Amino acid sequence: MRAKPARVAILISGTGSNMDAILRARDGINADFVGVISSKPGVEGLHKAEAHGVPTAVIDASAFAVRRDFDDAVADQLEAWGAELIVLAGFMRILGADFVRRFENRVINVHPSLLPLYRGGTAVEDALADGAKETGCTIHVVVEDVDAGPVIIQRPVPIEAGDTRDTLHRRIQAVEHELYPEAVQRICAGEIHLDSLGDDQPGVTALAGTPSG
Protein backbone atom coordinates (compact mmCIF):
# COMPACT_ATOMS: atom_id res chain seq x y z
CA MET A 1 0.00 0.00 0.00
CA ARG A 2 1.23 3.55 -0.73
CA ALA A 3 2.35 5.06 2.52
CA LYS A 4 0.71 8.45 1.95
CA PRO A 5 -3.08 8.62 1.44
CA ALA A 6 -4.12 9.81 -2.02
CA ARG A 7 -5.98 13.12 -2.09
CA VAL A 8 -9.28 12.31 -3.80
CA ALA A 9 -12.02 14.67 -5.02
CA ILE A 10 -15.42 13.55 -6.31
CA LEU A 11 -17.47 15.40 -8.96
CA ILE A 12 -21.25 14.97 -9.05
CA SER A 13 -24.33 16.51 -10.66
CA GLY A 14 -27.24 14.79 -8.93
CA THR A 15 -28.17 11.92 -6.65
CA GLY A 16 -24.62 11.00 -5.78
CA SER A 17 -25.30 7.33 -5.06
CA ASN A 18 -21.89 6.29 -6.43
CA MET A 19 -20.19 8.99 -4.37
CA ASP A 20 -22.10 7.73 -1.32
CA ALA A 21 -20.96 4.14 -1.99
CA ILE A 22 -17.33 5.28 -2.21
CA LEU A 23 -17.54 7.37 0.97
CA ARG A 24 -19.22 4.48 2.82
CA ALA A 25 -16.20 2.36 1.91
CA ARG A 26 -13.65 5.03 2.86
CA ASP A 27 -12.33 3.20 5.94
CA GLY A 28 -10.85 0.60 3.60
CA ILE A 29 -9.41 3.13 1.14
CA ASN A 30 -6.00 4.75 1.59
CA ALA A 31 -7.30 8.21 0.71
CA ASP A 32 -8.16 11.61 2.05
CA PHE A 33 -11.44 12.69 0.49
CA VAL A 34 -10.62 16.36 0.09
CA GLY A 35 -13.88 17.61 -1.41
CA VAL A 36 -16.98 17.11 -3.54
CA ILE A 37 -17.87 19.48 -6.39
CA SER A 38 -21.40 19.60 -7.76
CA SER A 39 -22.13 21.18 -11.14
CA LYS A 40 -25.69 21.83 -9.93
CA PRO A 41 -26.89 23.58 -6.77
CA GLY A 42 -29.25 21.91 -4.30
CA VAL A 43 -28.78 18.31 -5.44
CA GLU A 44 -29.20 15.32 -3.13
CA GLY A 45 -25.55 14.35 -3.50
CA LEU A 46 -24.44 17.54 -1.74
CA HIS A 47 -26.43 16.61 1.38
CA LYS A 48 -24.92 13.12 1.31
CA ALA A 49 -21.40 14.56 1.05
CA GLU A 50 -22.07 16.88 3.98
CA ALA A 51 -23.40 13.93 6.01
CA HIS A 52 -20.04 12.23 5.41
CA GLY A 53 -18.26 15.37 6.64
CA VAL A 54 -16.58 16.04 3.28
CA PRO A 55 -16.16 19.69 2.15
CA THR A 56 -18.42 20.64 -0.75
CA ALA A 57 -18.34 23.27 -3.48
CA VAL A 58 -21.02 24.16 -6.00
CA ILE A 59 -19.78 25.31 -9.39
CA ASP A 60 -23.03 25.91 -11.22
CA ALA A 61 -22.48 25.00 -14.85
CA SER A 62 -25.55 26.94 -15.93
CA ALA A 63 -23.91 30.16 -14.72
CA PHE A 64 -21.08 29.87 -17.27
CA ALA A 65 -21.63 31.01 -20.85
CA VAL A 66 -18.36 29.43 -21.97
CA ARG A 67 -17.56 25.80 -21.14
CA ARG A 68 -13.86 26.52 -20.85
CA ASP A 69 -14.54 28.97 -17.99
CA PHE A 70 -16.53 26.31 -16.14
CA ASP A 71 -13.72 23.79 -16.64
CA ASP A 72 -11.18 26.32 -15.33
CA ALA A 73 -13.27 27.01 -12.21
CA VAL A 74 -13.49 23.27 -11.50
CA ALA A 75 -9.75 22.85 -12.12
CA ASP A 76 -8.88 25.74 -9.82
CA GLN A 77 -10.98 24.27 -6.98
CA LEU A 78 -9.38 20.85 -7.49
CA GLU A 79 -5.92 22.40 -7.34
CA ALA A 80 -6.85 24.42 -4.25
CA TRP A 81 -7.74 21.11 -2.57
CA GLY A 82 -4.56 19.49 -3.90
CA ALA A 83 -6.59 16.70 -5.51
CA GLU A 84 -4.49 13.90 -7.00
CA LEU A 85 -7.31 11.60 -8.14
CA ILE A 86 -10.57 13.00 -9.56
CA VAL A 87 -13.58 10.69 -9.45
CA LEU A 88 -16.51 11.54 -11.73
CA ALA A 89 -19.67 10.05 -10.22
CA GLY A 90 -22.76 10.97 -12.18
CA PHE A 91 -21.04 14.19 -13.28
CA MET A 92 -23.11 15.12 -16.32
CA ARG A 93 -20.75 17.62 -17.94
CA ILE A 94 -18.21 16.89 -20.63
CA LEU A 95 -14.82 18.19 -19.57
CA GLY A 96 -12.85 19.82 -22.37
CA ALA A 97 -9.50 18.86 -23.83
CA ASP A 98 -7.52 21.41 -21.81
CA PHE A 99 -8.97 20.10 -18.55
CA VAL A 100 -8.26 16.50 -19.52
CA ARG A 101 -4.66 17.39 -20.44
CA ARG A 102 -4.19 19.32 -17.20
CA PHE A 103 -5.24 16.25 -15.17
CA GLU A 104 -4.03 13.53 -17.53
CA ASN A 105 -4.42 10.01 -16.14
CA ARG A 106 -5.89 11.37 -12.92
CA VAL A 107 -9.60 11.48 -13.83
CA ILE A 108 -11.84 8.40 -13.76
CA ASN A 109 -15.52 7.87 -14.58
CA VAL A 110 -18.32 5.34 -14.19
CA HIS A 111 -20.41 4.48 -17.25
CA PRO A 112 -23.49 2.21 -17.40
CA SER A 113 -22.40 -0.15 -20.18
CA LEU A 114 -19.63 -2.54 -21.08
CA LEU A 115 -17.49 -0.02 -22.96
CA PRO A 116 -16.69 0.29 -25.81
CA LEU A 117 -20.36 -0.66 -26.31
CA TYR A 118 -22.97 2.08 -25.88
CA ARG A 119 -20.92 5.20 -25.33
CA GLY A 120 -22.79 8.45 -24.59
CA GLY A 121 -25.70 9.60 -22.51
CA THR A 122 -28.28 6.94 -23.46
CA ALA A 123 -26.28 3.79 -22.73
CA VAL A 124 -29.02 1.94 -20.84
CA GLU A 125 -31.74 2.68 -23.43
CA ASP A 126 -29.37 1.78 -26.25
CA ALA A 127 -28.62 -1.66 -24.80
CA LEU A 128 -32.37 -2.34 -24.45
CA ALA A 129 -33.14 -1.07 -27.95
CA ASP A 130 -30.43 -3.32 -29.31
CA GLY A 131 -32.07 -6.41 -27.85
CA ALA A 132 -28.82 -7.22 -26.03
CA LYS A 133 -28.81 -10.08 -23.51
CA GLU A 134 -26.41 -8.33 -21.21
CA THR A 135 -24.94 -4.95 -20.56
CA GLY A 136 -22.98 -3.80 -17.51
CA CYS A 137 -20.86 -1.04 -16.09
CA THR A 138 -17.34 0.22 -16.61
CA ILE A 139 -14.89 2.28 -14.63
CA HIS A 140 -12.52 3.98 -17.08
CA VAL A 141 -9.88 6.67 -17.38
CA VAL A 142 -11.21 9.94 -18.83
CA VAL A 143 -9.61 11.02 -22.11
CA GLU A 144 -10.59 13.70 -24.61
CA ASP A 145 -13.01 11.43 -26.51
CA VAL A 146 -16.14 10.80 -24.45
CA ASP A 147 -16.27 7.31 -22.87
CA ALA A 148 -13.23 6.22 -24.88
CA GLY A 149 -10.47 5.97 -22.25
CA PRO A 150 -8.75 2.81 -21.06
CA VAL A 151 -10.94 0.44 -19.05
CA ILE A 152 -9.92 0.00 -15.43
CA ILE A 153 -12.57 -2.54 -14.44
CA GLN A 154 -15.93 -3.64 -15.80
CA ARG A 155 -18.64 -6.09 -14.86
CA PRO A 156 -21.57 -7.51 -16.83
CA VAL A 157 -25.24 -7.25 -15.83
CA PRO A 158 -27.81 -9.55 -17.50
CA ILE A 159 -30.80 -7.94 -19.21
CA GLU A 160 -34.04 -9.62 -18.10
CA ALA A 161 -37.30 -10.06 -20.00
CA GLY A 162 -39.56 -7.08 -19.24
CA ASP A 163 -36.69 -4.82 -18.19
CA THR A 164 -37.36 -1.10 -18.57
CA ARG A 165 -34.76 1.64 -18.56
CA ASP A 166 -35.39 2.15 -14.84
CA THR A 167 -35.31 -1.49 -13.71
CA LEU A 168 -32.17 -2.16 -15.73
CA HIS A 169 -30.42 1.02 -14.60
CA ARG A 170 -31.20 0.20 -10.96
CA ARG A 171 -29.56 -3.23 -11.32
CA ILE A 172 -26.56 -1.68 -13.10
CA GLN A 173 -26.21 0.89 -10.33
CA ALA A 174 -26.21 -1.84 -7.66
CA VAL A 175 -23.15 -3.27 -9.41
CA GLU A 176 -21.58 0.19 -9.85
CA HIS A 177 -21.84 0.67 -6.09
CA GLU A 178 -19.58 -2.37 -5.57
CA LEU A 179 -17.28 -1.76 -8.50
CA TYR A 180 -16.45 1.92 -8.04
CA PRO A 181 -15.29 1.72 -4.41
CA GLU A 182 -13.21 -1.33 -5.38
CA ALA A 183 -11.57 0.55 -8.25
CA VAL A 184 -10.82 3.61 -6.09
CA GLN A 185 -9.43 1.39 -3.33
CA ARG A 186 -7.12 -0.46 -5.73
CA ILE A 187 -5.91 2.74 -7.38
CA CYS A 188 -5.21 4.35 -4.00
CA ALA A 189 -3.46 1.18 -2.83
CA GLY A 190 -1.09 1.51 -5.78
CA GLU A 191 -2.29 -1.77 -7.34
CA ILE A 192 -3.58 -0.07 -10.49
CA HIS A 193 -1.56 2.61 -12.27
CA LEU A 194 -3.75 4.76 -14.49
CA ASP A 195 -0.85 5.76 -16.71
CA SER A 196 0.06 2.17 -17.57
CA LEU A 197 -3.36 0.92 -18.70
CA GLY A 198 -2.21 0.48 -22.26
CA ASP A 199 -3.58 -1.55 -25.13
CA ASP A 200 -3.31 -4.81 -23.24
CA GLN A 201 -5.19 -3.27 -20.30
CA PRO A 202 -3.75 -5.28 -17.41
CA GLY A 203 -6.36 -3.80 -15.07
CA VAL A 204 -9.17 -5.61 -16.86
CA THR A 205 -7.52 -8.99 -16.51
CA ALA A 206 -6.70 -8.39 -12.90
CA LEU A 207 -10.08 -7.10 -11.86
CA ALA A 208 -12.75 -8.58 -14.14
CA GLY A 209 -15.54 -9.92 -11.95
CA THR A 210 -18.27 -12.47 -12.33
CA PRO A 211 -21.75 -11.61 -13.63
CA SER A 212 -24.08 -10.43 -10.93
CA GLY A 213 -27.68 -9.40 -10.59
Q: Which residues bind ligand GAR (CB under 6 A)?
A: 12, 14-18, 89-90, 110-112, 121, 123, 173, 176
Which of residues 202 and 211 has its CB atom nearest to ligand GAR in the complex?
Answer: 211
Minimum CB separation from ligand GAR for residue 48, in Å?
9
* Of 47, 111, 140, 177, catalytic: 111
Which of residues 111 and 186 has its CB atom nearest to ligand GAR in the complex?
Answer: 111
Which of residues 76 and 145 has its CB atom nearest to ligand GAR in the complex?
Answer: 145
Contact status, residue 135 vs residue 168, Cβ threshold 8 Å: yes
Contact status, residue 134 vs residue 157, Cβ threshold 8 Å: yes
H helices of 8-141, where?
A: 17-24, 44-51, 67-81, 97-102, 123-129
Residues 44, 89: Cα–Cα separation, whole Å: 13
Contact status, residue 181 vs residue 144, Cβ threshold 8 Å: no
Task: Select the residue whose beta carbon is closest to ligand GAR and give its number.
Answer: 90
Annotated catalytic, 52?
Answer: no
Minimum CB separation from ligand GAR for residue 160, in Å?
18
Which of residues 91 and 103 has its CB atom nearest to ligand GAR in the complex?
Answer: 91
* Rounded alpha-carbon distances, angstroms, from residue 135 to 24, 69, 89, 150: 26, 36, 19, 18
Minimum CB separation from ligand GAR for residue 201, in Å?
20
Question: Any idea which residues carry the catalytic annotation?
Answer: 111
